Structure 1
Amino acid sequence: MTEIAVLTPDPEDSSYRGQWPGVLERLQAALTDVGVTTHPTPWVDHIEDAAGLKGFPLILPVLVWGYHRDHARFMQATRTWTDAGLPLANPASVLGWNSDKSYLGRLAERGVRIPRTIWTDGVTSEQVDAAFDELGAETLVVKPTVSGGAWRTLRLNRGDLLTDPPVGPAMIQPYLSSMETEGETSLLFFGGRFSHAVNKRPVPGDFRIQVQFGGSYETVVPPEDALAFAAKVLAAVDEPLLYARIDLARDAGGEWVLMEAELIEPDFYLKNDPRAGGGFGDAVRALLDRV
């Protein structure tokens, strides 16, 4: 058996305490099938010193949940891991830039369609009021560029007061009503190969699709145009990726747009994977065999 490291949440962060151990168990089961065991270790134990991670042939950062609430230290950790030349997959450089949603703008410059977006260093009521007309929308979504799991994300209708806005850099987008009617579709890729897709929908009256807010998840066969769109997203990323979750939705014109390219710590939705993580295990085994 080959032992690898898996980076886990800060033990002091109770937000996901009831959720991530089950995700880890599903990952471990998939890896055991390909002769791989895991050494879980909190990412916060390796911020300034990478010595505790040296010697592992592979380090998976797939459970650094909550990093967005400790972003400065997370960025410091990615620099430490880069300088130490650690075998992270996905690479530490990817973890760094993918942690700030401004990367969507750079992907857009490479031809990836995203929702119309206003970027701001700090959300104001005046900006939001103007955004309705600028974006031609009656409902907006406002969220920090560093976020996760709908953290500090607001849905605002024209005339709503802006209360408890995101602090610091943020983005303003039209709310896509298709999230309620068609949902968001997540396509999972391991080692560059498509594995499975999940459609996620919010409970009636809500806009958040995450399971902690009652969102429902269903395994689906994605249409060919969704697969082609996701392939275009992956092609726009320069670094090699062991895993990727590409989250898509349809805009008001019925076109696919990229909501997120989740390359740090996405839930792979292995409960919905017909192979129960077999594709992920195969990709890890192939990477280990190459190195």
Structure 2
Amino acid sequence: MPSPRIALATSAELPDLDGDSRLLLPSLERAGIASTCLVWDDPAARWEEMDMVLVRSTWDYWNGAGRRDAFVAWAERVGAKVPFWNAPEVIRWNTEKSYLRDLEARGAPVVPTLWLGPEERAANVLARGLDEGWSEVVIKPAVSAGSEGALRIDLTRDRAGAEAHAEALAPRGVVMVQPFLRSIAQEGELSIIFFEGEAIHAVRKVPRSGDYRSQPEFGSVVGRAEVTDEARRVAESVLTIAESSFLYARVDLVRGLDGALRLIELEVTEPCLYLGWEEGAADRLAAAIARRLRG
């Protein structure tokens, strides 16, 4: 019997995957799974010949008008023919950060957020932020990644600049306004990685001095972290509320203004899974993929 074939979906900028995702390749081989990398928007890619599609380094779908819609359409088109993880309906939900609004409405402890839609004025939304006591905020688009388009700004000192930035982002879609969390500078962001609902490992990303962005490309310090009972409880509650059978998930937590752990992102589209930070993590993901292929 031939080995099952899995396509690892990536982008034209990373045709051979990002470095962390490449760690999965030998684990798949040891699990008896043949893998190939295909660029998600390559019209010549033959997805229908695969036994599964795994979304990995598709880190360009937010970059340009209509790209997110095209990405979601691709996922739904391919997912109608081939087993696809995470599922296309998850991709549609998770690629626009209004999913946080959905989770909060269902009881998840989300970082407080104000939402600027097409029917609202930036000045009014920012005024509500001041009413909440947020002197310093982060303004960012709801379709983005890696802090693209984000601005940290003091409303009490430069309200006009904040309004201008929010209004400049508005043509791209919904805009988010969140309080700047000073705790990020001290303890950073905790990312807990789950495979099939089980917490596998965690990393902590602490921004470099003077910055607030926790992504490694901005010079943050990344280190392995223990999953405390508090963090596990919060992260598992988020997954329970999400009510979906994720193959993989990354729950990103920060310490809120009230001192409690809060969800800043639930990454279930194409997150970095920090496989290199936990011995055996790639093998465990390959084993989970093998179970899905058998099922």
Q: TM-score, normalised by structure 1?
A: 0.90
8 Å CA contact 1:202, 1:210 repeated in 2 = yes
Aligned counterpart, 2:212? 207
Does residue 193 (structure 1) correspond to residue 198 (structure 2)? The answer is yes
Q: Distance in 2 between matches of 1:260 and 1:21?
A: 21
Q: Distance in 2 between matches of 1:215 and 1:143?
A: 19
8 Å CA contact 1:196, 1:274 repeated in 2 = no
Does residue 75 (structure 1) correspond to residue 80 (structure 2)? The answer is no
How far residue 99 of structure 1 moved from its aligned partner, in angstroms, is 0.2
Aligned counterpart, 1:36? 33
Counterparts in 2 of 1:124-135, with a 5 A limit? 126-127=123-124, 129-135=126-132
Does residue 24 (structure 1) correspond to residue 21 (structure 2)? The answer is yes
Q: Deviations over 1:71-104 (max 9, x none)?
A: 121122133234x242101101101110000000
Counterparts in 2 of 1:1-291, with a 5 A limit? 1-9=3-11, 11=12, 14=13, 17=14, 20-45=17-42, 52-69=46-63, 70-82=67-79, 84-121=80-117, 126-127=123-124, 129-158=126-155, 159-160=157-158, 161-162=161-162, 163-165=164-166, 166-167=169-170, 168-290=173-295
Q: Distance in 2 between matches of 1:74 and 1:197?
A: 28
Q: SS state of the match for residue 23, structure 2?
A: helix
How far residue 53 of structure 1 moved from its aligned partner, in angstroms, is 1.1
One-letter code aligned to 1:138: S
8 Å CA contact 1:131, 1:172 repeated in 2 = no
Q: Distance in 2 between matches of 1:33 and 1:131?
A: 55
Q: Give 5+ residue unaligned stretches, structure 1.
A: none
Q: Give 5+ residue unaligned stretches, structure 2.
A: none
Shift in CA distance, 118/129, structure 1 to aligned 2, threshold 3 Å = closer
4+ long deviations beyond 2 Å: 17-21, 122-125, 162-168
How far residue 183 of structure 1 moved from its aligned partner, in angstroms, is 0.7
Q: Distance in 2 between matches of 1:55 and 1:258?
A: 38
How far residue 276 of structure 1 moved from its aligned partner, in angstroms, is 4.2
Q: SS state of the match for residue 234, structure 1?
A: helix
How far residue 151 of structure 1 moved from its aligned partner, in angstroms, is 0.6
One-letter code aligned to 1:185: L
One-letter code aligned to 1:133: L
Q: SS state of the match for residue 79, structure 1?
A: helix
How far residue 128 of structure 1 moved from its aligned partner, in angstroms, is 5.8
Q: Distance in 2 between matches of 1:18 and 1:75?
A: 19
Shift in CA distance, 164/117, structure 1 to aligned 2, threshold 3 Å = closer
8 Å CA contact 2:136, 2:180 repeated in 1 = yes
Q: Deviations over 1:89-130 (max 9, x none)?
A: 110110111000000011111110111111112586524641
Q: SS state of the match for residue 199, structure 1?
A: strand
8 Å CA contact 2:106, 2:241 repeated in 1 = yes
Shift in CA distance, 234/215, structure 1 to aligned 2, threshold 3 Å = same
Q: SS state of the match for residue 201, structure 2?
A: strand
Q: Distance in 2 between matches of 1:27 and 1:95?
A: 21
Q: Distance in 2 between matches of 1:53 and 1:20?
A: 17
> C-alpha root-mean-square deviation of aligned residues, in Å?
2.1
Q: Percent identity?
A: 31
Q: SS state of the match for residue 191, structure 2?
A: strand
8 Å CA contact 1:91, 1:239 repeated in 2 = no
